[in-house]
Structure 1
């Protein structure tokens, strides 16, 4: 654990309140920054992933790189003051940030550089609606929302090399199988080291002791 992150965690445990990272902003990608030596994931927004494709008018490009470069041109090297909301599973501080009196999340969403991340907050809903109506930035492109893109990439990495595409997953609910098109199919990963496996048919899965998901 880095020293700045350790200090933030120690302050939270001691006081019951979150610390506030602040300092010069360095852009990592369109929603992730180094601020005063602390890695910060911007709260309530979701920007395209590096390598995620955009398309428009027959042209394709790296949407994550495009978004990062736009944010870098506008905000790199400026001073930011952040209010910490959480720490994510990667150890990053999740925070809202202010740059020169501007809410950074609101600026990115209203200009079509990122989407409101409703899984975690509705804070930027109206900013997103304004960007969509005006067709700004991402709203003028053919592009997936990042969460859908990440789920698709994870499913592709985990796909079998055969036509046996039913996922036999083991969880606290027991041995469950998921078929393509099911609610949790794309986000379910198969780990053979845990006894999970792929099946070619429902009957094969049920004969092996797996049951269908109830979702």
Structure 2
């Protein structure tokens, strides 16, 4: 039986190799949050670790601690201006490469967990379980505080997801039209939800919020 032109096209598509996931992502990095990097312009989620959400707070020494921001700062300090090589393991639902990243032969995820600023994401891998055990035993980072594991924090839905990690400031319009902005780590930040229909919005800096007529929350 003679093959039609359409049949030939279908057969060609069947035998052509499917696009494959890039084996590695390389370059200098910027910390987006405690477990996410931007490497060479591409978002990369560290494999096997989970850090506090950027807007998450913990309690340390009887005081509120912006542990999510602290985790990002820790990751930023680790990567510095080093060149990273990230071995891609998967792609998550947000389109980010999920990868094991190294700089100078050091595993970035292992360092974050060993310093107590992230936990082993055991639902996906036990790769960093020993590092977590050691950090916990020494009371490092999160293990010296009262906190909720990041996954539980997300599932609880106590805080509205930050649409852009670089713009986490919440501009809230209260009763009487009062315009107040809340910084991550402030007392009412987690419970504040942004509704654009009310004129509420996210800001990337305090100066941007003030220019829009918002003032900083008192606590």
Considering the TM-score relative to the shorter chain, is it more than 0.5?
A: yes
Alignment of 1:48-197 (within 5 A): 48-153=52-157
Specify the SS of the correspondent of 2:18: helix
**Corresponding position: 1:22 with 2:31:** no
* Residue of structure 2 in register with 1:13 after alignment: 18
- Structure 1 residue 70: Cα displacement: 1.7
Measured at CA, do residues 60 and 20 of structure 1 come closer, stay the same or move farther in structure 2, by a change above 3 Å? same
- Give 5+ residue unaligned stretches, structure 1: 1-11, 158-215
Shift of 1:18: 4.2
Q: Distance in 2 between matches of 1:104 and 1:45?
A: 10
Q: Against the structure 1 CA distance between its residues 59 and 97, is the aligned structure 2 distance closer, same or farther, given a 3 Å change threshold? A: same
Aligned residue pair count: 144
1:47 aligned residue: 51
Measure, in 2, the Cα distance between the counterparts of 1:29 and 1:64. Answer: 8
Say if 1:18 and 1:85, in contact at 8 Å, map to a contact too: no
Q: Deviation of residue 17 (structure 1)?
A: 5.8
Report deviation, 1:119. Answer: 0.9
TM-score by length of 1: 0.63
1:135-154 per-position Cα deviation (integer Å, ceiling 9, x unaligned): 11111010110000001116
Give 1:30 shift: 1.1
Measured after TM superposition, the shift of residue 37 of structure 1 is 1.4
Whole-angstrom distance in 1 between the partners of 2:82 and 2:18: 30
- Residue 202 of structure 2 is matched in structure 1 by none
Contact residue 34 and residue 54 of structure 2 kept, 8 A: no
The superposition leaves residues 102-158 of structure 1 with CA deviations (integer Å, 9 ceiling, x where unpaired) of: 01111111110100001111111101001111111111010110000001116x87x
**d(CA) in 2 for partners of 1:60, 1:46:** 21
Cα distance in 1, alignment partners of residues 100 and 107 from structure 2: 7
- Give the distance between the partners of 2:78 and 2:46, measured in 1 at CA: 16
Looking at structure 2, the residues matched to 74 and 51 of structure 1 have their Cα atoms a distance apart, in angstroms, of 21
Shift of 1:13: 3.1
* Contact 2:48 2:122 (C-alpha < 8 Å) held by counterparts: yes
| Superposed displacement of residue 63, structure 1 | 1.2
Runs (4+) of structure 1 exceeding 6 A deviation are none
Give 1:98 deviation, angstroms: 0.4
